[in-house]
Structure 1
């Protein structure tokens, strides 16, 4: 069995769709037709018989979101086949949707990538329990791990907005739009266990480093996706040991970007105070962009704002303030146009 050569493990709402699109464009890389396979976080625990049928008719549940995602993936793939039937792609879909999961089944999903560097991106792998990471390591000890990070203030808000979009799409919030979200609904999203776990970057990295050496883990920053997409992609291609020259064809725009582009002032202040300690630790560990994240938290926590603030926060007045500070107090990475993303060692 040939398991993946690399895994993208998150963080959700942090540039993973951009990453997936660019990896799929490289001639020496192979990724599945679907971005998120959800084997280790969802399907590995399913019974060996009857799981696809059970999932097809599963009732809607606010916290059990995967059956809806699976049905959405199935609907999307069927729609694509109606427009253009590709026998090879159809066979892959039959394996993915109709067969019950197992390690052998998972490996079979990468058979079409024979001779290439193969991998997949499922952001929820970042919050696997210890035994889940251990299982991945037992199957693919040489895999390269990709982890993208985003300012927690932005990521938590974006994840909460996305959660509301999904609840509305699943008819669990009827007669409401995301723009009509109440303070209570947003706070519920901020406090959701998955949303909080996905933002605990240092514990996530510590857990994965217990199984993978630092030189097999690439940490990226969404600011590099925005400011230096070609250079960032060149670093990622080098990390995956494929020709970096294809980085010139990088997709510069955001993928799966959603409105709103404004964050309520009370949200920014609330999240700044909640994640201040985490941001102190991140700034100490990484500097660079994480120092900007900490600066945002300190400014927003100490000087609360009533009006909405533009996000991503590099588009706000906070970035200009931070970048114009004395050189000795600002990390050199963003000021000199250097990419901060890279392997941990």
Structure 2
């Protein structure tokens, strides 16, 4: 039976890069649909309709690629997995989906299967227990941490650029809009609070899984040799350090430093997340994040 490597978070903290490192630098077969959103949809963290529509859009893009192409050499096992997974998730509720089925037809010859869905970080405990039942207590769980303030700002940038009502980033308005959200205690902000709750997530997963790795976002870029060794020891497989170093030369899924917040808002956010910031500093033994 295949074993699993599951990235559980955090959103805007390097999950796309980690997916590529595992996919391109190790023998782990990473699902080509990077965020399956299986367990979080199953336990109400994400609404079923959101997953259905997202999967349908990806499925339609795959079909268009086939229809528009004159050369079908790209239709390999991995492409079939991508197409099939999106078809399943766009046509069935997750309550009727076998998690392992989302990796077909790429099960044979792949003893390690993986995926990364940041919202798994905020699964209720019953969801974590169910994940353990499905993937086994010996699954390798990886959680990425980032400065909570920087992560929140990056998350809000993402909503401005790619959200359902994306308007783009207007530097003069960004700070005021985000301040209004913070002062208004919106549902979006409460969700960001959960996605910054690294200690709670770590405790929850360590309670139910044998192997949980906690990594610091900046270390992925600034200490590749260290992370290379850590990943090899944790996964118990080879990690190609040369490919890894090539990957981190270019930022993955970056919004760049397009806007800055003023000191008043920064202070307000740092105060809000002071406990989370101190936890990261203490855990990774660093003075600044």
| Contact 2:39 2:127 survives alignment (8 Å) | yes
User: Hey, what's the Cα distance between the residues in 2 that align with 1:189 and 1:220?
Assistant: 29
- Quickly say closer, same or farther: Cα 1:71–1:187, change in 2 above 3 A: farther
2:154 matches 1:158: yes
User: Hey, what's the Cα distance between the residues in 1 that align with 2:268 and 2:209?
Assistant: 35
Of residues 229, 248, 257, the one that matches 2:254 is 257
**Cα displacement string for residues 216-251 of structure 1 (whole angstroms, at most 9, x for unaligned residues):** 01111111112123431342133111113x122111
User: Hey, what's the Cα distance between the residues in 2 that align with 1:87 and 1:281?
Assistant: 44
Of residues 120, 127, 143, the one that matches 1:125 is 120
- 1:115 is aligned to 109
1:171-186 pair list within 5 angstroms = 172=165, 176-179=167-170, 181-183=173-175, 185-186=177-178
TM-score by length of 1: 0.69
Deviation at 1:268, TM superposition (A): 2.1
| Contact 1:11 1:126 survives alignment (8 Å) | yes
- Specify the SS of the correspondent of 1:5: strand
- 1:282 is aligned to 280
How many residue pairs get aligned? The number is 267
1:1-345 pair list within 5 angstroms = 4-26=3-25, 28-42=27-41, 55=49, 65-81=50-66, 82-83=68-69, 84=72, 85-86=74-75, 88-99=77-88, 100=92, 101-102=94-95, 105-111=98-104, 112-116=106-110, 117-139=112-134, 140-167=136-163, 170=164, 172=165, 176-179=167-170, 181-183=173-175, 185-187=177-179, 190=182, 191=185, 192-213=189-210, 216-244=211-239, 246-250=240-244, 251-252=247-248, 253-265=250-262, 266-288=264-286, 291-293=287-289
| Contact 1:160 1:189 survives alignment (8 Å) | no
User: Hey, what's the Cα distance between the residues in 2 that align with 1:14 and 1:227?
Assistant: 14
User: Hey, what's the Cα distance between the residues in 1 that align with 2:76 and 2:95?
Assistant: 24
| Contact 1:127 1:198 survives alignment (8 Å) | yes
User: Hey, what's the Cα distance between the residues in 1 that align with 2:33 and 2:192?
Assistant: 23
- Mean Cα deviation higher: 91-100 or 112-121: 91-100
- Specify the SS of the correspondent of 2:252: coil
User: Hey, what's the Cα distance between the residues in 1 that align with 2:19 and 2:235?
Assistant: 14
Deviation at 1:6, TM superposition (A): 1.1
Using CA pairs under 8 Å that are at least 6 residues apart, name the structure with larger relative contact order, 1 or 2. Answer: 2
| Contact 1:9 1:123 survives alignment (8 Å) | yes
TM-score by length of 2: 0.81
User: Hey, what's the Cα distance between the residues in 2 that align with 1:247 and 1:205?
Assistant: 27
Gaps of 5+ in 1: 46-50, 56-64, 294-345
| Contact 1:141 1:212 survives alignment (8 Å) | yes
| Contact 1:160 1:195 survives alignment (8 Å) | no
**Cα displacement string for residues 259-283 of structure 1 (whole angstroms, at most 9, x for unaligned residues):** 3344222332221222123323333
Look at both structures and tell me which one has the larger radius of gyration over its CA atoms.
1
- Quickly say closer, same or farther: Cα 1:10–1:102, change in 2 above 3 A: same
User: Hey, what's the Cα distance between the residues in 1 that align with 2:24 and 2:116?
Assistant: 14
- Mean Cα deviation higher: 268-277 or 15-24: 268-277
- Quickly say closer, same or farther: Cα 1:69–1:185, change in 2 above 3 A: farther
- Specify the SS of the correspondent of 1:28: coil
- Quickly say closer, same or farther: Cα 1:113–1:44, change in 2 above 3 A: farther
- Specify the SS of the correspondent of 2:208: coil
RMSD between superposed Cα atoms in Å: 2.8
